[in-house]
Each structure stands twice: as structure tokens, then as C-alpha cells.
């Protein structure tokens, strides 16, 4: 039962992150310039894709020993950080990428984790 709750929480977080990408991009489109939406979407995807990979990687370790789960966690986290760096490097090579909207959406997507701690506090039982 605990596994279902934690997996459900992961799905909720990923869904909230996707929603934040859309909302932040549309918000920047309304208050900014039209070419900002691409930079904003890139920033959101730079945060979202590695998190999606990490969630998938951790889900593969269900039912394994604690040592394998921890190894999978560290491996997934290090690959997530490396993937984020590579995606930033690729994004800044694209023409007309704007730093401000890219970082706004990137930070907004990452802040979903903090919001999730507040919203799903009852799911995180010790």
C-alpha cells in the first residue's frame, strides 16, 4: 500500500510539473514577447525530462534490496544532473534563446517539489 501511495505522489508531481510548464510559458507569452515562449518551454523541459528519467529509473528498482535501491537512486540522480547540464548546453546553442524566460520556467518547474511537500504532506508519513 505504501508503494502505491509513493508512486501516486510521483505521478502527481510530474503532472504538476507539466502543468507549470504550460502555465509559465503562457504567462510569459502574455507578459513578454512571442519568442519567449520557446525559451520558456525549453527551460521547463530542461527540468522536466531529467525528473521524468529519474522517476522511471527509481520505479525500476521496486522490490529490490535496499542496497540496490540506494545504488539506483545515486546513479539516477547523477545521470539526472548530467542530463540537465547537457540539455542546458544544447539549449544555449540554439538561436534566439532568451536567458530570462528559460530560467523562469526552469526554476518554476523545480519549485514544484517544494509545493508538493506542502500539498501532499499527508502522503509523506514517517
CA neighbours within 13 Å on the CB side: how many for 75? 11
Q: What is the pLDDT of residue 126?
A: 41
Distance CA 101, CA 25 (A): 8
Helix boundaries (H) for the chain: 2-31, 36-59, 66-91, 99-110, 112-119
Q: Per-residue pLDDT for 113 more than 50?
A: yes
User: CB-based contacts of 29: which residues, under 8 Å, 6+ apart?
Assistant: 36, 37, 40
Name the percent of the chain lying above pLDDT 70.
89
Least confident piece of the model among 16-20, 47-51, 62-66, 104-108: 62-66
Mean pLDDT across the stretch 75-96? Answer: 96
Amino acid at each position: 500500500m505504501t508503494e502505491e501511495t509513493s508512486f501516486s505522489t510521483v505521478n502527481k508531481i510530474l503532472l504538476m510539473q507539466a502543468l507549470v510548464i504550460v502555465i509559465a510559458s503562457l504567462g510569459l507569452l502574455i507578459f513578454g514577447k512571442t519568442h519567449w515562449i520557446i525559451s520558456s518551454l525549453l527551460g521547463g523541459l530542461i527540468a522536466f525530462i531529467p525528473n521524468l528519467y529519474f522517476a522511471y529509473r527509481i520505479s525500476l528498482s521496486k522490490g529490490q534490496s535496499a542496497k540496490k535501491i540506494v545504488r539506483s537512486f545515486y546513479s539516477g540522480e547523477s545521470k539526472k544532473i548530467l542530463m540537465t547540464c547537457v540539455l542546458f548546453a544544447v539549449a544555449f546553442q540554439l538561436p534566439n534563446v532568451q536567458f530570462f524566460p528559460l530560467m523562469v520556467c526552469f526554476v518554476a518547474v523545480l519549485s514544484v517539489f517544494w509545493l508538493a511537500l506542502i500539498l501532499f504532506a499527508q502522503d509523506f508519513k514517517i
